[in-house]
Amino acid sequence: MEKKEKNVVTLPDEICTSIEGWPRDLVIIGIPKIGKGTILGNFTHSHNALVLDLERGGYDYISARKLSIYSQDTTSPLEAYNNYINYRKALLAEKGKYEYLIIDGLSDLDSMSEIGGTFAYMDTIQGKSFNRVDGKKDGVKLEYDDVNWKSVIDLPDGHGYLHTRKWFMQQIEFFRQISPYRIYAAHIADKYIKDNGKEEVVGSEISLTGKLKNIFASHVTALAKLTADGNDRYLNFDVVNDSVIAGSRVPKFKGSLLISTKNEDNTIITYWDRIYKQEK
């Protein structure tokens, strides 16, 4: 008697329609002080959203539903890292509590990856003698503030960046488990070329380390540059030159969309319903 084959694949004959809806991962990139925090904080008033603030003092003067890894001015990088790990664990324990998770900002997560990537490398086979007392394999681990403690990026030939990138992308996967929609805020890094000894700005990129900017950009739904025109702020999805700071897999998000306006009394009106469904 023949056994029935399991997991039989049925090949499609019909065309699958495209998905209509909102971007699962939206990245907003802009220069400092352009108003990203205010606009994102406003979003938490109208939607079931939480800001995970990774920037020192980033939301001190912004009304929002938020968690800051810098609890005070004297918070050290290691304390901030430990706060982040504790917050991440709490959010994972209550997956779906917030429909939208706002991560502000990516550059700070990138900086934190040097600590996270180093700790992760120390637990690998190759790193069993890294940051150990007297360099002994499986020896006592050095404390982060020890004068002999080294960062994983000190490994020769740039091999350490593999571990920082891996840690960073692991956090992106955690965020996907925490909330169905994610919004990332990031800063802009100008892209330069040298011609006859002169430097020229030819475009802009996400302010992330090395290859990470392209790896991360390939994993998100939409990227937009936050631009200003007087009291108005726009999300610009247009791709210019070879820039990786804009673009969208969602066809309806193209060109510039008005996202906020500041009135004469300095109140801010946002238009998030143009990006996500209106909840309140």
For residue range 95-134, what is the model confidence (pLDDT) as tens digits? 999 999 999 989 999 999 999 999 999 999 999 999 999 8
Query: What is the model's pTM?
Result: 0.86
Instruction: Report the alpha-carbon distance of residue 169 to residue 230 in Å, rounded.
Output: 36
CA distances to 55, 66, 172, 208 from 102, rounded to whole Å, are 12, 9, 12, 18
Amino acid, res. 138:
D
Q: Which stretches of the chain drop beneath a pLDDT of 70?
A: 1-5, 16-20, 190-204, 239-247, 251, 279-280
CATH number of the domain located at residue range(s) 25-274 in this protein: 3.40.50
Q: What is the pLDDT of residue 204?
A: 61
What pLDDT digit, counting tens, does each position of 50-64 carry?
999 999 988 999 999
CA distances to 162, 232, 261, 271, 276 from 228, rounded to whole Å, are 36, 6, 10, 15, 21
CA distances to 2, 193, 194, 201 from 198, rounded to whole Å, are 74, 8, 5, 10
Q: What is the pLDDT of residue 242?
A: 54
